[in-house]
Amino acid sequence: MIIGTLFIWSIKFLIRPFVFIDPALKPLVGLAPNLIGSFLLPFGACWFFQRIFRLETTMDLNITCCFGLLLVVINEYLQLIPVFGRTFDYLDILSSVVGVFLGHLYFKRLMTRSMPVTVQAS
């Protein structure tokens, strides 16, 4: 989670302002922090909250990703308040949805691989 946050900050504060980016790639660079941060959401939640709860079932993963996506959307709508000096963008929400979806799929795949196989007696 810390590495993901540092990565997002490096894109937002070091790469975008000071590095020339081809105008065709600017939308991608603008959406990258939301996409990557949302992709890392289940991994960060698993690591950060491991003492409170564990992501052991698909239902746990679904609830965690839905709650994280809700927080991301609320954060984006809070940017409509002019006091914060931020800008609201529907594409940020869309990239967050895509990122959470891809992170969910990948984390679910890792969960199913690491689960022990139980054999039922016939």
Q: Domain map of the chain by residue range?
A: 36-108
Residue 105, classed as helix, strand or coil, is helix
Q: What is the pLDDT of residues 18-55, one digit of tens each?
A: 777 788 877 777 777 778 778 888 888 877 777 777 77
Better-predicted residue by pLDDT, 72 or 18: 72
Distance between first and last Cα of the chain:
44
Q: What is the pLDDT of residues 73-83, one digit of tens each?
A: 888 888 888 87
How far apart, in whole angstroms, are the C-alpha atoms of residue 38 and residue 23? Answer: 24
Q: For the whole model, what pTM was predicted?
A: 0.69
